[in-house]
Chain A
């Protein structure tokens, strides 16, 4: 594979970040599980409704009127928009989406903790190493240029966002540490 390009205006910086993330697993084998899971077949398998994309018909899961090999989309809920396409045999009824559940918020929280736990240490280490390389110095100069080119208002936004992320990361690390201590005490 040829070397990465050395000009990096705008989107190419993002490309380099995306490619750098993929090298994390190779550099620390065994440490990482999933980065992001697009595959939601497990959710689809337990969805109570199935929408036949070829015929445009909504069924309850397992309805005997579903044609063999129909291209089905799983639906966790069916809002009233779907009811005019409801199968007359299994007669699915609308289910309104509940407001954001406490469990969803907890999932988001655990997701954040796991990301910080998974990446914070290794990113900092890699960032320090990368800063010393020729590529890193080149990228650093370009990031400086990009930052200099921003207007005062844009700089303010970037500073606020980075500051907030830093605070979130620090808070999560301390929370995570607290949780681990509590868990350790519980095991004693």
Chain B
């Protein structure tokens, strides 16, 4: 063992479940290389953040690895052609998204030659000579996002803002893979441990953490052994492989951090807030490929499994390959296939059609018959048995969340911390009343977001209206002020006239001057009363034009 530091004690998160693993079905044979699809469908948004902007047009010839859509803004990721061919469409297509709605995709018809692009970024023989900014930029340019499922752009995660005084002190490598059926991370660790370690070293170079903890569930002995050997071989002093108990959802970022460090990511916060960055093993392999090999993210390992797949296995797949083609390559369907999931049975998305593409975050295709995934049974009333509460890893009260979500009391449901729910599904799996609890939480969250949007819209409209009223008021106020000013002027003039009349009785000469002044003033007042345009109508023929001109100045 090269690690001199002691293995830290493991900790427990609240709740969680022991689920039947169903992992061996798909680990019986080594992963096969990606087939060449006839066409690839590449959604512009396969990640969290802004959709990428196409830089090719219909008809463009593209080559493998070429950027075909650029990232827009900070939280975004570019998209690369995953094979060579011609762009035949840039349009809305169905993608494996929970909404089932179509999103904008670039479709490439493969030419079958699968030629690499000419100007790929050069591989870096010695990444340690580069600074963090350069490496992050390369990772960003390679289109790498979190491959564990969340698909958050990796470069941003590697540029953390932390409130922790120690900075980023711990890098956590997530090889837990807690969800049943999924084995792609297991297979990657068994077969590519050294490349994953290389990826870890790159991330260590960027973040400079004091320690790196690789968490792997104890149901993957081969992966644990391979990773341990690779750590020993690379002689990494601060990196440890840590075997964690198999318990769903240990692979959740917050749960794995708790198990390995006993630190809790703050509610509504990020791991970086407590000085931790967490990366999935698949993402680290992609980082190695991008930096050391110069290959962008155009391919990933996908577990194709379930009792409705003839030959369950792991298989590499080009991003954009239709589900149907990948399943055909795995012997096709068998039996009464009723459900097709992207992801595992706990958090996976059920898709309507298999004519949707593999995207960056597609870790598993699970085709199931009713024998393994039966149709949902009719829910009964909640009896508040509290089973859900005992398994909730977020330590929520799912029964209260359900009660208030069901009653559409969206304020109360937030009182019970709805937004701390990670939708792991443990509560629903133990519910004796068979209530689709997570469905209610999603519904409540969506409703609250919608209300928030509406409220913001209403706020904007109200502010606009208030501004409009204020403008009208200001106009009225200015008009009134002008009128008052004129009135005052008139008053003054009248007083002056009266004064002049008084003076005239005393001194005829003075009176004559005063009378002339008064006349001039009266004239001025009269002019002021007239509309502006009437100015030009004043003619020299009018009396006392000389006096007028002197007074005007």
A and B found bound together = no
Please report B residues at the A interface, Cβ cutoff 8 Å: none
